[in-house]
Amino acid sequence: MHSLRKFRIPSGAGLLAALLFLTVSGSCLAQAAETGAAVAPKPLIDLTSPDAIKQIKPNYGDPVYTVDTTGITVKLPAARANYPGIQISPATGDTWDLSPYGHIEAKITNTGGKPIRFTMALNGVSKGAPTQNTEIIGVKPGESKVLKVIFGYAWGYHPTAAIESAKVGKLILFLAKTTEDQSFRIEGLQAAGAVGEQPPFSPDAVVAIPKNGVILGQGVTFDPAKQVIANGAKVAAGPNGALAVNFAGGKTETIKIKPAMGVWNLTQANQIRVTFKNLGDTPATPAVAIGPNTVPVKTPLAPGAEAEIALSFIPEVSGVGIGAKDIKVGINGVLPGTGTDLESEKVKEFSILSDATPGAKSLLITSIIADVALADLPAWLGKRPPVEGDWVQTFTEEFDGPAVDYSKWNIYARNFWDKRTHFSKDNLILKDGKAILRYEKKTGFHNDDPTDKETVGQTDYACGFLNTYGKWTQRYGYFESRVKLPTAPGLWPAFWLMPDRGKGSSYKGHYRVGTALQPGVDTGNGGMEFDIVESLSGWGPYRYNIAMLWDGYGKGGKQLGSTKIYIRPDKEGYITSGLLWTPGSAIYYCNGKEVLRWENERISDLQEYIMFDVVTGGWDKTLPQIDDAKLPEDFIIDYVRVWQRKDLATPEDGPKPNKADPRETKN
Is residue 441 domain-shared with residue 342, that is, in the same domain?
A: no
Q: Is the peptide bond before 77 cis (omega within 30 degrees of 0)?
A: no
Residue span of the structural domain in which 443 resides: 398-655
Residue 385 per-residue DSSP state: -
| Cβ-contact 355, 252 below 8 angstroms | yes
Which domain CATH number covers 522? Answer: 2.60.120.200
The C-alpha atoms of residue 293 and residue 532 are separated, in whole angstroms, by: 24
User: Is 392 inside any structural domain?
Assistant: no
The C-alpha atoms of residue 634 and residue 567 are separated, in whole angstroms, by: 19
- pLDDT category, 80, cuts 50, 70, 90? low
- The SS3 call for residue 427 is helix
Is residue 466 domain-shared with residue 571, that is, in the same domain?
A: yes
Mean of all residue pLDDT scores within the chain: 87
Is residue 232 domain-shared with residue 139, that is, in the same domain?
A: no
Is residue 441 domain-shared with residue 296, that is, in the same domain?
A: no
Direct distance between the N- and C-terminal alpha carbons of the chain, in angstroms, rounded to an integer: 32
Region class of 225: left (phi > 0), else alpha (psi between -120 and 50), else beta: alpha
pLDDT in tens, 214-223: 999 988 999 9
Is residue 517 domain-shared with residue 630, that is, in the same domain?
A: yes
Residue 601: count of CB within 10 angstroms of its CB = 9
pLDDT in tens, 341-388: 999 999 999 999 999 888 899 999 999 999 999 999 999 999 999 999
User: Is 387 inside any structural domain?
Assistant: no
Q: What is the pLDDT of residue 666?
A: 59
Q: What is the pLDDT of residue 9?
A: 38
Q: Which of 593, 584, 601 is nearest to 565 (CA)?
A: 593
Q: What is the pLDDT of residue 325?
A: 61
Q: How much of the chain exceeds pLDDT 70, in percent?
A: 88
User: Is 367 inside any structural domain?
Assistant: yes
How many domains does the chain divide into?
3
Is residue 163 domain-shared with residue 95, that is, in the same domain?
A: yes
Angle at 634 between CA 619 and CA 155, to 5 degrees: 25
- pLDDT category, 488, cuts 50, 70, 90? very high
Is residue 457 domain-shared with residue 481, that is, in the same domain?
A: yes
Is residue 626 domain-shared with residue 517, that is, in the same domain?
A: yes
pLDDT in tens, 434-454: 999 999 999 999 999 998 766
Q: Which of 242, 243, 264 is nearest to 9 (CA)?
A: 264
H helices of 82-236, in order, are 224-227
User: Is 588 inside any structural domain?
Assistant: yes
Beta strands per DSSP E along 242-349: 243-247, 254-257, 263-264, 271-278, 287-290, 293-296, 306-312, 319-320, 330-332
Is residue 646 domain-shared with residue 553, that is, in the same domain?
A: yes
| Cβ-contact 648, 478 below 8 angstroms | no
Beta strands per DSSP E along 194-253: 206-209, 214-216, 228-229, 234-237, 243-247
Is residue 562 domain-shared with residue 460, that is, in the same domain?
A: yes
Q: How far is CA 345 from CA 256, 351, 542, in A?
A: 18, 18, 11
Domain final residue pick, 160, 192, 224: 192
Domain final residue pick, 192, 216, 236: 192
Region class of 596: left (phi > 0), else alpha (psi between -120 and 50), else beta: beta
The C-alpha atoms of residue 437 and residue 633 are separated, in whole angstroms, by: 8
Q: How far is CA 165 from CA 45, 120, 196, in A?
A: 17, 16, 11
User: Parallel, antiparallel, or unpaired for β 263-264 and 206-209?
Assistant: parallel
Task: Name the residue with higher pLDDT: 466 or 17.
Answer: 466
Residue 258 per-residue DSSP state: -
Nearby residues of 657 by Cβ (< 8 Å), 6 or more positions away: none
The C-alpha atoms of residue 287 and residue 309 are separated, in whole angstroms, by: 7
Please say whether the dihedral angle defined by the alpha carbons of residues 338, 567, 332 and 157, taken in this order, is positive or negative: positive
Q: What is the pLDDT of residue 417?
A: 86
User: Is 552 inside any structural domain?
Assistant: yes
pLDDT in tens, 508-550: 444 444 333 344 457 877 889 999 999 999 999 999 999 999 8
Q: Which of 99, 88, 147 is nearest to 123 (CA)?
A: 88
The C-alpha atoms of residue 29 and residue 575 are separated, in whole angstroms, by: 46
Q: Which of 296, 280, 281 is nearest to 364 (CA)?
A: 280
Is residue 638 domain-shared with residue 569, that is, in the same domain?
A: yes
- pLDDT category, 556, cuts 50, 70, 90? confident
Burial of 324 (0-12, 13-18, 19+ CB in 10 A): exposed
Q: What is the pLDDT of residue 79?
A: 62
The C-alpha atoms of residue 9 and residue 634 are separated, in whole angstroms, by: 26
Is residue 291 domain-shared with residue 234, that is, in the same domain?
A: yes
Q: What is the pLDDT of residue 126?
A: 83
User: Is 198 inside any structural domain?
Assistant: no
Which domain CATH number covers 145? Answer: 2.60.120.430
Please say whether the dihedral angle defined by the alpha carbons of residues 461, 462, 468 and 470, taken in this order, is positive or negative: positive
Number of helices and strands in the chain (H, E)? 1, 49
User: Is 66 inside any structural domain?
Assistant: yes
Domain final residue pick, 192, 224, 241: 192
The yes-or-no verdict on residue 608 having pLDDT over 90 is: yes
User: Is 291 inside any structural domain?
Assistant: yes
The yes-or-no verdict on residue 145 having pLDDT over 80 is: yes
pLDDT in tens, 83-137: 899 999 999 998 999 999 999 999 999 999 999 999 999 988 887 777 889 999 9
